[in-house]
Amino acid sequence: MDGMTFVLFGATGDLAKRKIFPALYNLYHDQKMPQSISIIGLGRREMSDSKFQNHVEQSIKTFSRRVVDNRDKMDAFLGAFRYQTLDAANVDDYGKLLNLVQQRESELNIPENRMFYLSVGPSFFETIALNIKESGLGSTKGWKRLIIEKPFGRDLESARELNANLSKAFEEDEIYRIDHYLGKSMIQNLGDLQFLNPVIQTLLNNQHIANVQITASETVGVEERAGYYDQSGAIRDMVQNHMLQILMMTAMHMPKKISPKEIRNEKKKVIESVRRIKKEDVILNVVRGQYRSGEIVGQPAVSYRNEPGIEASSQNDTFVAARLWIDNPFWQGVPFYIRTGKRMAEKSTRIVIEFKNAGHKGSAKKVASNLLIIEIGPNENVSLQLNSRNPRNGKVEPVKIGFSTEQKEVPEAYERLIFDAIRGDSTFFAHWKEVELSWEWVQPILEAFKGNLLPLHLYPAGSNGPSAAHRLLEEDGFKWWLDD
Ligand code: BG6
């Protein structure tokens, strides 16, 4: 791998501490980093290089998957880090940054390959990208790349505006939009599961599938993010990005040629085919909820409206369920249900694919549906539910065959994604078109929520969400699987 500079905006922030430094360390530990690398942290507060290196070391010791077992190795790693104070709006600071970047490039004899990671609030994205251009930081003889985190806009219009501004400084193929769900190993495995297994590939279509259910439930509440979350809700925080990305990854058909371009193109085709909902019809296909007080694993939990920083009258959605239709020849007529919520009964992200139940014609007894269950997190496993006769009692019973992976050995999402970005592989980053089309689908829902065109169902903390979300499936003769 060629040498490079990794410039981190927001280096004193929470994401850097919890995810980015540990990911960089794990990559270094596993020899997945260029031999020569210069890492420059930027933040508003004053800090010496050695203090910054200390901060990085502490974060690694607290959050890294890999144990720090060798002092020399750690010192060599920390030696790559430098710190500079930067005010995102101050053009002079970018001039200073350019000097530091060039100085390190010549000290370490590394080519002008520059990665700019924006681990900062979205309101800074445009300013920083434009200042990178203006200051000359972006005029390199090597490559330049920009990594940004969600949220990518608050609605369709603001996302388009943001993209237009970023495009003034970076080309689309230089922009790496992180959706950390795309870094999860089981999501990355979805294509292989389909492509490498004819038994799955042949069955994934409307001939054989009754419905698909995607759940991302969390036990945590709003935590310390009231300011952000109360303005976003589950629809912007989870649905527009993670949920729709899982949907695209599940429903896409593997292209003949596997390349980032082809895969992203297939995903785009899926989201393009998702039937748009009219604002007036949102009520028929979407359920919004908010948690009230309840109990989570034996502990009392306050209602959303009683959380610190949340208005007592907040109408914000902490739960969203929806029914989607993909109007293409593979999936026409198969409902896809998604749901996500805070303060639910368990932390689980999973996909359940229910097969049509044709095998028991003429039999008086109803047999259980075949299910393909893909657990994405926190546990990772795949299982297939079949029916089999129990030799002990002669009864037909559902049985599961499957496999799971030991968590400790699995690289974290950020580790995979940063590794991919360093190598210039954009397969598991969101393309602008995917983001834009996702906003297009979400936009009428935002408007319906804003206009209060559908009820806000309160659900007890620690439950599986409001009963209206169950009715959504019951209307079609289905139920959410694995809810007990
Ligand atoms: C983030 C959301 O993108 O994803 C959070 O902003 C949410 O609200 C988190 O808790 C869930 O991620 P994971 O990896 O824990 O499922």
Nearest-angstrom CA–CA distance, 294 and 296: 7
**Which CATH number does the domain housing residue 82 bear?**
3.40.50.720
Helix (H, G, I), strand (E, B) or coil at 372: strand
Res 1: pLDDT = 85
Tens-digit pLDDT profile for residues 165-209: 999 999 999 999 999 999 999 999 998 898 899 999 999 999 999
Is position 336 within any domain?
Answer: yes
Does the global pTM surpass 0.90?
yes
**Which CATH number does the domain housing residue 240 bear?**
3.30.360.10
Domain stops at, among 125, 149, 173? 149
Mutate to test the pocket of ligand 1, among 18, 177, 228, 238 (most ligand atoms within 8 A of CB): 238
Give yes or no for residue 364 having a pLDDT over 70: no
- Determine which one of 29, 55, 242, 457 is catalytic: 242
Res 105: pLDDT = 98
- Centre of ligand 1 to C-alpha 238, Å, is 7
- Centre of ligand 1 to C-alpha 441, Å, is 21
With cut-offs at 50, 70 and 90, classify the pLDDT of residue 479. Answer: very high
Is position 271 within any domain?
Answer: yes
Same domain, 260 and 339: yes
- Across the range 250-269, mean pLDDT stands at 90
Is position 108 within any domain?
Answer: yes
Give yes or no for residue 97 having a pLDDT over 80: yes
Same domain, 123 and 225: no
Same domain, 310 and 412: yes
CB-based contact 414:17 (threshold 8 Å): no
Nearest-angstrom CA–CA distance, 346 and 337: 18
Domain stops at, among 127, 149, 171? 149
Give yes or no for residue 366 having a pLDDT over 90: no
Same domain, 191 and 85: no
Same domain, 218 and 351: yes
Torsion angle in degrees (nearest 10) through CA of 375, 376, 380, 386: 20
Tens-digit pLDDT profile for residues 228-252: 999 999 999 999 999 999 999 999 9
Residues with CB under 6 A from ligand 1: 218, 237, 349, 377
Same domain, 18 and 114: yes
Res 362: pLDDT = 52
Instruction: Report whether 237 belongs to an annotated binding site.
Output: yes
- Is 242 annotated in the active site? yes
Helix (H, G, I), strand (E, B) or coil at 400: strand
Is position 392 within any domain?
Answer: yes
Is position 483 within any domain?
Answer: no
Same domain, 83 and 225: no
Same domain, 125 and 228: no
Is position 166 within any domain?
Answer: no
Q: Which domain holds residue 97?
A: 4-149
Same domain, 358 and 213: yes
Same domain, 413 and 331: yes
CA-nearest of 144, 298, 160, 273 to 219 is 298
Is position 170 within any domain?
Answer: no
Residue closest by Cα to atom 2 of ligand 1 = 237
Tens-digit pLDDT profile for residues 109-166: 999 999 999 999 999 999 999 999 999 999 999 999 999 999 999 999 999 999 999 9
Same domain, 134 and 196: no
Cis peptide before 411 (omega within 30 of 0): no
* Number of domains into which the chain is organized: 2
Same domain, 235 and 291: yes
Q: List Cβ neighbours of 186 (8 Å cut-off, separation of 6 or more).
A: 374, 375, 376, 377, 380, 382
Is position 484 within any domain?
Answer: no
